Structure formats: structure tokens, C-alpha cells
Chains A and B, each alone.
Chain A
């Protein structure tokens, strides 16, 4: 697609087009978020609202055949600043 039509020329343009939309963010420390993106900067610091965080927690005691059990903890936060150094990826909402 012609970049002048989509307005996408660099990676950050993809995030810019996701402003005020719900995005998926994968983070270090076995975490992921979905929330509405309101601000970001060049460090990928983000400010999001209506955030749901998902944390992977392994229970080694409940290990079955050496695999361990992965539990998922979720929590919601109203307004959140996310420091950019923990961000692995930001994914825009699925377009229909």
C-alpha cells in the first residue's frame, strides 16, 4: 500500500493511529494489558485508561508431570502510566 495514502511511514505512526482506541500491550515480567491509549512518547511510555492487566503466575507446588500450573491473575485500573522500558509490543485494535 502507498505510504502516502495510509499515512504510515514509521513504527510510531501505527501507535499514533491507535490513540483513543483500545490497544493490547505486552510487557516484561509476564504481564499484558488492554486499555484505551491516550498518550505516548518516544520511549514508549504510555498513558492508558480502563486498563485490564493479566499476570501469569506459576504455581510450582502444584506441578503436574514437571510442567507446573500457570495461573492467570487479572485486575483493572482506571488510569495508568506504563513506563516504556517494560513494553515489548503495542498492538492496535483489530480492524473490521
Chain B
């Protein structure tokens, strides 16, 4: 859920999504859902010669499960906030685990 929120804050930013099949797509992050499926607009494929089928594609939907990495714009990521949120998130889950 935390990471879903992070992606939501990054909508309308330019990101590079690297798929497990080594296809690397840069585009504007238009939307993301709870499975981390991603919609990218205005895409540009790295090494287009190796992926000629992508030349006519401008906007696309990427299934979350095939993503290897997403390169994020560092200036739009608050690392301190992330670390605090991660600690909070895990502690909440620890407390829950102790109660049950």
C-alpha cells in the first residue's frame, strides 16, 4: 500500500519502466493501481531497433507483474518520509502480529 501511494504521488512525472523481458520504456506516468499496473503516455522505447513492434505505440498499459524496475525522478521522492512511513507501517504490522 505504501508503494502504491508513492507511485500515486509520482503521477504526471516521467519514469522509466524496465520489464522482465528487458524492454525499457520511458513515459509519463498517467495512472497506477493497487497491483502496480502502470499506464504510461507518450512513451519512448530504449533500443527501438530490437523492439520494432513498439514503434507505432504512443500510450500503453503495463501489467504490474512483468515489471522488474521503475526508475523514478529522485527530486520528487522524499526519502526521509519514505523511511518514516516504512518504519510506521512495519511497526503497525508488528503490533497487529503481537495482538493476534
Contact = CB atoms under 8 A, between A and B. Distances in A.
Partners in one complex: yes
A81 B72 contact: yes
Residue from A29, A45, A47, A86 with most neighbouring chain B CB atoms (10 Å): A47
A40 B86 contact: yes
Contacts, number: 77
B71 interface: yes
Contact of A82 (B6, B69, B82): B69
A66 B39 CA distance: 44
Contacts of B90: 12-13, 16
A19 B83 contact: yes
B95 interface: no
Contacts of B6: 39, 47, 81
Contacts of B55: none
Contact of B1 (A27, A41, A82): A41
B64 to A, nearest CB: 8
Contact of B87 (A19, A41, A78, A85): A19
B57 interface: no
Contacts of A36: 79
Given A79-B72, A79-B73, A49 B79 contact: yes
Contacts of B99: none
Contact of A83 (B36, B79, B85): B36
21 contacts: A9-B94, A10-B94, A16-B87, A19-B86, A29-B68, A38-B79, A38-B82, A39-B2, A41-B3, A42-B93, A45-B3, A47-B3, A47-B6, A47-B77, A49-B74, A80-B71, A81-B69, A83-B36, A83-B68, A86-B20, A86-B68
Interface of B: 1-3, 6-7, 20, 36, 64-65, 67-74, 77, 79, 82-83, 85-87, 89-90, 93-94, 97
